[in-house]
Amino acid sequence: MLNPDLLDRAVEMLRRGGVIALPTETVYGLAANAEDELAVRRVFAIKGRPATHPLIVHIPGAEHLSEWARTLPDEALALARAFWPGPLTLVLPRTARATDAVTGGQDTVALRVPGHPVALEVLRRLGGGVAAPSANRFGRVSPTTAEHVRQDLGGDVDLVLDGGPSTVGVESTIVDLSSGAPAILRPGGLATEEVERVLGKAVPVRASTTVRVSGSLASHYAPRAGVVLSEPSEALQQVNALRARGLRVGVLGPASLSLPEDVQRFDVPGEPAEAARVLYARLREADEQGHDVLVACLPAASGLGIAVRDRLSRAAAPREG
Ligand code: TXA
Ligand code: MG
């Protein structure tokens, strides 16, 4: 836990309309008081993100849900009870407290109780909601350390709270409970299987058609280098083919790969939760080495492997411009 003076300063800044970087268990967030429209607008400006993209409101506990959501289906309460604090975001019909600035003018709001002691303590002391997208520039890989935030946003934030490396490593799983059957809008740090276990039924992944979800833009999680997806068993073949074309190639994958000695490998274990935890840091490291192409090995498509595959697929998607 951070020293109490620093926590006080952070809360004071949020009260006064400041924008701070806040550690969470998923990724670092760029945080503003959700009820302060000017501060929320500054978040969009710092990120360089279109103001129509809605933000997640972080709250201190499930007992605050009714302040932000005007209907609370049993399924929302069951998921909140099972997984908060934790890497789960619920989309629900909003109350007036969730302003257009936060929701992008939609009638719903995304809510989450983060499972990081520093974030929780800041929220409890503030006693309100904090709007916080990931603390990276729009289109870049999300930060999982305070150092990543400083590299991306530097002096643009009023304070960076360092809570150590994020332990989950990918963004929260977003479950839409605002109308009809529940659906997953973004696979993330809570496995789909866990959501389904508590709800007692299958929950489909549904890319939102009406809502502008940043993570759903194909090339959202893009490093500078090109990314080629590979099954681990085919990585060597891919590397050789790319090198034959004169490209500088790096590999993201487990230690068990057999690769030519002069190929740089960035360790992304095959175990899905471990892969999720280190994925963004490894993408950044790999990207700094100036490779033309990164061959990224896919983890198994279960548990957090779904989220890792999702992020890697976006990193590999064709870029705009
Ligand atoms: O793990 C996380 O969720 C991190 C940490 C900081 O909590 N936050 C995060 O925020 O990933 P951001 O802004 O990068 O992603 C928020 C996602 C976006 O895809 C956004 O479109 C979606 O939540 N979202 C927000 N409000 C929504 C709503 N009312 N309906 C549907 N999607 C919504
Ligand atoms: Mg983001």
> Computed over its alpha carbons, how large is the radius of gyration of the chain?
19
Whether the predicted pLDDT of 287 surpasses 70: yes
Q: How far is CA 184 from the centre of its chain?
A: 14
What residue's CA is closest to ligand 1, atom 7?
A: 29
CATH code of the domain covering residue 134: 3.90.870.10
Residues 133/30, Cβ–Cβ less than 8 Å: yes
pLDDT (tens digit per residue) in 148-173: 999 999 889 999 999 999 999 999 99
Q: Report yes or no on 43 lying in a domain.
A: yes
What residue's CA is closest to ligand 1, atom 6?
A: 29
Whether the predicted pLDDT of 215 surpasses 70: no
Residues 167 and 240 in one domain: no
List the domain range (segments joined by +) for residue 72.
4-216
Residues 34/130, Cβ–Cβ less than 8 Å: yes
Residues 183 and 50 in one domain: yes
If one residue of 56, 103, 130, 166 were mutated to test the ligand 1 pocket, choosing by the most ligand atoms within 8 A of its CB, it would be 56
Residue 223: what pLDDT?
A: 76
Residues 63 and 84 in one domain: yes
Q: Report yes or no on 221 lying in a domain.
A: no
Rounded Cα distance between 150 and 136, Å, is 9
What's the complex ipTM?
0.99
Mean pLDDT, the chain, integer: 93
When mean pLDDT is compared across 46-50, 188-192, 207-211, 244-248, the lowest value belongs to: 207-211
Model confidence at 180, in pLDDT bands (50, 70, 90)?
Answer: confident
pLDDT (tens digit per residue) in 69-90: 999 999 999 999 999 999 999 9
Nearest atom, ligand 1, residue 109 CA:
29
Ligand 1 mean position, distance from CA 246 (Å)? 40
pLDDT (tens digit per residue) in 18-35: 999 999 999 999 999 999
Q: Report yes or no on 53 lying in a domain.
A: yes
Residues 87 and 230 in one domain: no
Whether the predicted pLDDT of 220 surpasses 70: no
Q: Which of 164, 187, 216 is the last residue of a domain?
A: 216
What residue's CA is closest to ligand 1, atom 12?
A: 133
Model confidence at 221, in pLDDT bands (50, 70, 90)?
Answer: low
134 is in an annotated binding site: yes
When mean pLDDT is compared across 131-145, 247-261, 307-321, the lowest value belongs to: 307-321
Whether the predicted pLDDT of 216 surpasses 90: no
CA distances from 131 to 39, 99, 187, 242, 272 (A): 9, 11, 20, 43, 29
Model confidence at 296, in pLDDT bands (50, 70, 90)?
Answer: very high
Whether the predicted pLDDT of 43 surpasses 80: yes
Ligand 2 mean position, distance from CA 237 (Å)? 33
CA distances from 5 to 136, 161, 187, 196, 281 (A): 26, 12, 36, 42, 29
Q: Which of 156, 182, 216 is the last residue of a domain?
A: 216
| Ligand sitting nearest the alpha carbon of 211 | 1
pLDDT (tens digit per residue) in 228-243: 999 999 999 999 999 9
CATH code of the domain covering residue 257: 3.40.50.11030
Q: Report yes or no on 245 lying in a domain.
A: yes
Rounded Cα distance between 253 and 238, Å, is 13
**Residue 13 or residue 218, greater confidence:** 13
Q: Report yes or no on 99 lying in a domain.
A: yes
Residues 302/276, Cβ–Cβ less than 8 Å: no
- Provide the domain count of the chain: 2
CA distances from 143 to 16, 57, 139, 243, 314 (A): 25, 18, 12, 30, 16
Residues 48 and 158 in one domain: yes
Residue 321: what pLDDT?
A: 39
Nearest atom, ligand 1, residue 171 CA:
1
Residues 212 and 231 in one domain: no
Residue 12 belongs to what H/E stretch? helix 4-15
Residues 34 and 12 in one domain: yes
Whether the predicted pLDDT of 181 surpasses 50: yes
Ligand 2 mean position, distance from CA 214 (Å)? 7
Whether the predicted pLDDT of 319 surpasses 80: no
Q: Report yes or no on 321 lying in a domain.
A: no
Residues 143/133, Cβ–Cβ less than 8 Å: no
CB-defined site of ligand 1, < 6 Å: 24, 26-27, 29, 53-56, 89, 91, 103, 106, 108-110, 112, 114, 132-134, 171-172, 174, 185-186, 208, 211, 213-215
Residue 93 belongs to what H/E stretch? strand 88-93
What residue's CA is closest to ligand 1, atom 29?
A: 109
